Chain A
Amino acid sequence: MSLSQSEAVESGVSAPEEARGGLARDALRRLRRSPSAIVGAVLVTLFVLVAIFAPLLAPYSPTEQDLSQIRPGVFPGPSAEHLLGLDQLGRDELSRLIYGARYSLVIGIVSVTIGASIGILFGLIAGAFGGWVDGLIMRLTDIMLAVPGLLLAIGIAALLGRSLTSVMIAIGVVNIPIFARLLRGSMLAQRESDYALAATALGVKRWRIVLLHVFPNSLAPVIVQATLALATAIIDAAGLAFLGLGSPDPSIPEWGRMLAETNAFLANAPLLALWPGLAIVLSVLGFYLLGEALREALDPKLRR
């Protein structure tokens, strides 16, 4: 990301609303009206519900194999007993897909949490203290952002070794500078705002201003970014799985991995590639639509 772009991001963030209740109510109203927000919310809710209630929803165990029905390159397609057919080791595809939602959800949430919490901490420190602390943290984020996201994740995950944890840490680290800049920019913009200056003039302690006023008002863009980051996390996790990074146990029904495995028999059973691919696309779409809708809803500049 270019340096000027970061400045643009900072200046693009607006001054806070005095009555936060007004913003929230407004936001909700706008969300309810926007069709994409609804679609996004529906997809996300579906995704989360499937992930949480997987054991209840899945007709079979995701790891139970039935080799008797399998020949090389010949896997039974959709049938009455197995709605999406069997995979290359005789496991029920539908159940694997359902359980796979769990892995995607966990990877997404954990990595974004890591990235957001550390990022927010840095951003807070930078925004609160200013000066050389701010400069140092900004240089650090510049460096981290110099490496394109997926590449950084690949490098980190490859060096940390094959495990789900490495993937989560890798994607989390990629998110750190983004959240740091976001929060810092938000806070900087507000430090100059009227109410903050007024509070300082009145003698309110600095830390009170920061923690009790500036910080909460910076949360809106963070929420938006977190939602978008979830979407990116799912895509990146799939990409990393494609490259063989992730759990060393190949029987785990992670969508990206399921997709990567189908490469070997794409020409024989393209449907098996379709299901995890579709699942990924739909969940990514859901978070993305929701995130974009939230961004609009929470942006006071659009209140016309």
Chain B
Amino acid sequence: MLKFVVRRVLLLVPILLGLSILVFLFVRALPGGPETALLGENATPERIAQVREAYGLDRPVQEQYFSYMERTVQLDFGTSIQTRRAVTEEIKQRFPATVELAVTAMLFAITVGIPLGFVAARRYGSWIDNLSTAGSLLGIAVPVFVLAFLLKYVFAIKLGWLPSQGREDPRVFTEHPTGFFVLDGLLTGNPSASWDALKHLILPAVALGTIPLAFLTRITRAAVLEVGNEDYVRTAEAKGMTRAVVTRRHILRNAMLPIATVIGLQTGLLLSGAVLTETVFAFGGIGSFMAQAVFTRDFPVIQGGILFLAVVFVLVNLLVDISYGVLDPRVRTR
């Protein structure tokens, strides 16, 4: 088992290395050169000269690459053009918000999606089945920011039940030891702050989580159907095993593999969807920060943010891979 994990982790290295090389080459291959990438087409000659000096763009390529790698390994992604602080600082400050949002969205997707898919499969052809199909189709086809707008309009504007933006009410004052607002409220003995943070989380998490929800529903349903039709399940049922035991021991266990796959994949969608959702809800995480960077052509932030999120994505999928080892003994021996 350990060997399996180690092998998988080692495979990460060439990927991350390759990613950094690709980014490096891409930026330098752009028409107009990396200065254009960093500053945009309309930069003044003074700014261009400054950037050339600051980034050492007049030195030979190998030197540039080494200093780039040096900086990347030390997690130095440069300075944001907009806020004038280190990109790493900005990412560190905003990351917890996005994590909180993504985790809540995924939890929402899992707790609603998997049971829904399961029930839909078990009651194949019923109205629940059709409803879940319709719902998941909508979830896939509706762009996440459209959904975000819709939710905001209905629940925050028209009905006023939930706040329309931000992570907390501006009049709430609490310490934030961890940066995860719901947790912080509990840690500092201020449960109303936690509740306030949770209220701010609901709409964006639902908007963001709808796509994974849709996929999870479909894949759970499909997996359960497929497994349910397998011979060994029918044998078990014929033998007289109770439904519950059959479900637990055979169906769910075997269906988990494709479900885990989808969860890993969906993290990618969550991370990119976060960019749009956080913007609509002004949520203050990395997503809205990246969107702002796109609006203001803050290239160091765009680059650094994408690299960072890619690493997160790869790590999550690594975890999924490792979980395969747990779920499916066959994989470990490969």
Contact = CB atoms under 8 A, between A and B. Distances in A.
Report if A and B touch in the complex (beta carbons < 8 A): yes
Contact of A150 (B142, B149, B272, B299): B272
Given A8-B261, A140-B18, A273 B149 contact: yes
Contact of B273 (A3, A150, A263): A150
Nearest to A277: B146
B302 A155 contact: yes
A2 B27 contact: no
B46 interface: no
Contact of B141 (A8, A146, A259, A288): A288
Contact of A242 (B26, B145, B303, B306): B145
A155 B276 CA distance: 14
A151 interface: yes
Contacts of A144: 22
B51 interface: no
A4 B7 CA distance: 12
Contact of A159 (B27, B142, B146): B27
Interface residues of B, number: 58
A137 to B, nearest CB: 12
By CB atoms of chain B within 10 A, which of A4, A161, A239, A277 has the most? A4
Nearest to B268: A148
B261 A151 contact: no
Contact of A4 (B138, B303, B331): B331
Given A148-B313, A239-B145, A2 B295 contact: no
Interface string B1-14: 00000001001001
A238 B142 CA distance: 11
A301 to B, nearest CB: 11
The B interface is mostly helix, strand or loop, or mixed, namely helix
Contacts of A231: 141
A152 B306 contact: yes
Interface in B249-303: 261, 264-265, 267-269, 271-273, 275-276, 279, 290-291, 294-295, 297, 299, 302-303
Interface of A: 1-5, 8, 139-140, 142-144, 146-152, 154-156, 158-161, 231, 235, 238-239, 242-245, 259, 263, 266-267, 270, 273, 277, 280-282, 284-285, 288-289
B320 interface: yes
Given A150-B275, A160-B30, A273-B149, A1 B141 contact: no
A146 to B, nearest CB: 5
Given A2-B261, A273-B149, A281-B141, A147 B309 contact: yes
Given A142-B15, A244-B295, A281-B141, A148 B276 contact: no
Contacts of B317: 1-3, 5
Given A3-B11, A280-B146, A281-B146, 11 more contacts: A1-B268, A2-B265, A2-B317, A143-B15, A148-B271, A151-B275, A156-B26, A159-B27, A235-B143, A282-B141, A288-B140
A243 B41 contact: no
B285 to A, nearest CB: 14
Contact of B275 (A4, A159, A243): A243
A104 B11 CA distance: 39
Contacts of A2: 261, 264-265, 317-318, 320-321
Nearest to A153: B272
Contacts of B151: none
B265 A1 contact: yes
A38 to B, nearest CB: 15
B261 A149 contact: no
Given A5-B265, A243-B295, A146 B331 contact: no
Contacts of A142: 15, 18
Nearest to A276: B146
A210 to B, nearest CB: 27
B310 interface: yes
Contact of B272 (A143, A148, A158, A238): A148
Contacts of B324: 4
B252 to A, nearest CB: 19
A81 B261 CA distance: 52
Interface in B53-90: none
A1 B264 CA distance: 7
Contacts of B267: 148
Contacts of A238: 143, 145-146
Nearest to B314: A146
A200 B279 CA distance: 57
A133 B299 CA distance: 34
B157 interface: yes
Contacts of A244: 294-295
B264 A239 contact: no
By CB atoms of chain A within 10 A, which of B146, B264, B321 has the most? B146
Nearest to A260: B145
List the 4 closest pairs (A to B, CB-CB), nearest first: A148-B268, A150-B272, A2-B317, A143-B18
B318 A242 contact: no
B19 interface: yes
A142 B12 CA distance: 10
B124 interface: no
B241 interface: no
A158 B302 contact: yes
A150 to B, nearest CB: 3
